[in-house]
Amino acid sequence: MGLQLIIMGGLPGSGKSTVAGALATRLGIAILSTDVMDGALRRSGYDGASTGISAYVVAEALAREQLRHGRSVIVDAVNPRDMARQIWRELARQAGAELKVIECVCKDETLLRRRVETRQRDIPGLPALSWPHVLRRKANYDIWSDPRLTLETDEAEAQALVDTALEFLGQDLSQS
């Protein structure tokens, strides 16, 4: 695997953090979660309205540093708008890294809602999301224009999703 900037995208509850965590463990690379950054910014006094873009800016700076040192990195973020995605395109270009986009989707809205309403995230400072918040995110979610792997997480087993992602990233499954 050459130098890669791996972007995990998808609505809250779609399974992107689960897949990103498993990939980071299997590949032995850093994962940068904008949720963790958002929680840290809130704990340091930022209000919730200003943490969103700030978390993306921090993630971009940390990803740039990883890539500068020749290390691939995973960024775990909703990435709802094309302007947010442009950050990653430009970073990959500047760093000479291959941009690999993995979008997680849960087409079963009942299941997605249940995931959102019952998930337990241990991220200090990050409030739980409400279902209406996720619906607002969905209404403002741009269609991806980048080549990408779309993982439908409705019924697939986590290991099968990770194996599919590893293949997409060019990993020999017998080696990982």
Confidence (pLDDT) at 176? 47
**Residue boundaries of the structural domains of the chain:** 4-168
pTM for the whole thing?
0.92
Query: Would you state the CATH architecture of domain 4-168?
Result: 3-Layer(aba) Sandwich (3.40)
* Integer Cα distance of 112 and 114 in angstroms: 5
Would strands 30-33 and 73-76 be described as parallel, antiparallel, or unpaired?
parallel
Quick: pLDDT tens for 110-165.
999 999 999 888 887 788 889 999 999 999 999 999 999 999 999 888 899 999 99
